[in-house]
Amino acid sequence: MPHIDNDTICAIATPPGRSGVGIVRVSGPLAASIAKNILGLDPTPRYAHYSDFTGADGEVLDQGIGLFFRQPESFTGEDVFELQGHGNSHVLASLRDRILSLGARLARPGEFSERAFLNNKIDLVQAEAIADLIDSSSQQAVRSALRTLRGHFSRQISLVIEKLIATRVDIEAAIDFSDEDISVISNTRVEQSLADILEDLDKIFEGAQQGAILKQGMNVVLAGKPNAGKSSLLNALSGIDSAIVTPVPGTTRDVLTEPITLDGLPLNIVDTAGLRDSSHIVEREGVKRAKLAIDQADQILLIVDQLTHAQDTVSADTVEKLLASLGLIGDASAGIGSLLNRTTLVFNKTDLVKDGKTGLDSVDCGGIKITVINISAKTGSGVELVREHLKCRAGYNPGTEDVFVARQRHLIALEAAAELVKSAIQNMDAKSPLELLAEDLRLAQKELGAITGEFTSDDLLGEIFSTFCVGK
Ligand SMILES: Nc1nc2c(ncn2[C@@H]2O[C@H](COP(=O)(O)OP(=O)(O)O)[C@@H](O)[C@H]2O)c(=O)[nH]1
Ligand SMILES: [Mg+2]
């Protein structure tokens, strides 16, 4: 555990700019004396003091509410003093400077939450959930962050840790008695608990994965020939006219990104220049950037003008030819497999084809299933199918119970713990020495402990808290 600084920290906690109320926070042993200096009285804990906020020479810097919390009953677990004044940056700066002159220092980003963590007011996932809540880009993301903040994720992890400990106790006891040639370990009981633990871990992983999807979203790139209707689809998906649509091929030359949310799932829809050989220097640069965006995309919607490609002739061969004609295969930048795995074919302009296909289809490309969707970006027909398909591709299932906001590090630790439990089960089946089993379970417990911050390196803590806002 890193040591806890016992100096007093201070930060403006509200964003810069004008607002109704502006808040300055103080945490640490000097909080009470700072409060006394500024309010002119000994603050009563948890009492809203309406007061002048005075400067060093008794001048009034602002007027508002002063709140004092006596440790350990505060957010950080230390003495905390909060000034709620007016949301003006000069006012707040003068209050902050006054507090600094009374012996506090400026807080680092996330230092209040870090102290809350170090003083055991919250665990590490809860601290992370605070930052994730503030960064949430949808209602669903907010809900899952709140669930984590309120301890649901931590409780589920703790339950599994308890089960792991109970099983370890059984096994360690058996190891101690192994000389006496009596079987004190009930194999079926251990087998059952291990299966049970694995099931729990799978369930938590599912909830955490949904949370991670909600947090990270997905980059979806619209690609295709000029005039296929990429910009029109961007506008149809986002519901606003952000991209310029004209009948002139080569209209879009920049990479244009529009954030949208589908049922709470955040997506960045990226419109690109149509892929063709062009002699125009600006368009050539646009095509270069489009290819870069395609390389980095989570999902690629390949838009094809129905008039230029009869839909009933779509086969694996067509798909490859299409990709080749766009210059997407042939260069070694990304393997065709990685490209196909991320690609969906969108046949556009169904409104122009008499009795044209509608709905959703798929073709098999050497074992990779490519979805084909028929749409009209102009009339909106089939656009809902594109939305549903993207949700599905993101692995998004809003129906899942217990969605926790989660980070990549949680997913990695959960997976590692599950692997170790699987290895323990294998060792059990293979009748390996019990010590091996015990070691697997010890390491699994350590992985889970790293999630909640029980076993976490100082470096990782520094990394986590440094991404927080100042004042949180
Ligand atoms: N009839 C019809 N025209 C479309 C459709 N989608 C796009 N267009 C037209 O095709 C032209 C090119 O569209 P645009 O979105 O700029 O294509 P981009 O070059 O791929 O971005 C414009 O004149 C659009 O109005 C569609 O579904 N039906
Ligand atoms: Mg365009």
Whole-number Å distance, alpha carbon 251 to ligand 1 midpoint, is 11
| DSSP code at position 351 | G
Report long-range pairs for 383-390 (Cβ below 8 Å, ≥24 apart).
383/233, 383/236, 383/237, 385/359, 385/360, 386/233, 386/237, 386/301, 386/344, 386/346, 387/237, 387/262, 389/344, 389/360, 390/218, 390/220, 390/262, 390/265, 390/267, 390/299
Report helix, strand or coil for 356.
Answer: coil
| DSSP code at position 395 | T
Atom of ligand 1 nearest to the CA of 348: 27
Mean pLDDT of 395-409: 76
Atom of ligand 1 nearest to the CA of 375: 27
Atom of ligand 1 nearest to the CA of 251: 19
Whose Cα sits closest to atom 19 in ligand 1?
Answer: 227
Mean pLDDT of 368-378: 93
Whole-number Å distance, alpha carbon 227 to ligand 2 midpoint, is 7
Q: Over 90: is that where the pLDDT of 248 sits? A: no
- Phi, psi at 237, each rounded to 5°: -70, -40
Whole-angstrom distance, CA of residue 2 vs CA of residue 13: 25
Q: Is 230 in the pocket of ligand 1 (CB under 6 A)?
A: yes
Average pLDDT taken over every residue of the chain:
88
Mean pLDDT of 50-69: 97
Whole-number Å distance, alpha carbon 357 to ligand 1 midpoint, is 18
Q: Over 80: is that where the pLDDT of 168 sits? A: yes
Percentage with pLDDT > 90 across the chain: 52
Q: Is 378 in the pocket of ligand 1 (CB under 6 A)?
A: yes
Whole-number Å distance, alpha carbon 227 to ligand 1 midpoint, is 6
Q: Is 245 in the pocket of ligand 1 (CB under 6 A)?
A: yes
Q: Is 351 in the pocket of ligand 1 (CB under 6 A)?
A: yes
Report helix, strand or coil for 396.
Answer: coil
Going along the chain from its start, the domains and CATH numbers come out as 9-121 (3.30.1360.120), 134-202+415-453 (1.20.120.430), 218-393 (3.40.50.300)
Q: Over 80: is that where the pLDDT of 371 sits? A: yes
Q: pLDDT tens digits, residue range 334-352? A: 568 888 889 999 999 999 9
Q: Which of 97-106, 234-243, 338-347 is predicted least confidently?
A: 234-243
pLDDT band at 181 (very low <50, low <70, confident <90, very high): very low
Whole-number Å distance, alpha carbon 151 to ligand 2 midpoint, is 46
Mean pLDDT of 433-437: 89
Choosing from 227, 230, 232 the residue with most ligand 1 atoms within 8 A of its CB, the one to mutate for a pocket test is 232
Q: Is 231 in the pocket of ligand 1 (CB under 6 A)?
A: yes
At residue 286, the pLDDT reads 83
At residue 184, the pLDDT reads 53
Whose Cα sits closest to atom 22 in ligand 1?
Answer: 247
Q: pLDDT tens digits, residue range 294-328? A: 888 889 999 999 877 765 667 888 888 888 888 88
Q: pLDDT tens digits, residue range 147-164? A: 899 999 999 999 999 999
Q: pLDDT tens digits, residue range 69-97? A: 999 999 999 999 999 999 999 999 999 99
Ligand number nearest to the C-alpha of 237: 1
| SS3 labels along 223-248 | EECCCCCHHHHHHHHHCCCCCCCCCC
Q: Is 352 in the pocket of ligand 1 (CB under 6 A)?
A: yes
Whole-number Å distance, alpha carbon 278 to ligand 2 midpoint, is 15
Instruction: Classify residue 409 as exposed, middle or buried by CB count within 10 Å of its CB (0-12, 13-18, 19+).
Output: middle
Q: Is 232 in the pocket of ligand 1 (CB under 6 A)?
A: yes
Q: Which of 88-102, 171-185, 192-206, 269-283 is predicted least confidently?
A: 171-185
Atom of ligand 1 nearest to the CA of 245: 16
Closest CA to 9 of 27, 34, 24, 21: 27
Structure pTM? 0.73
Mean pLDDT of 164-175: 88
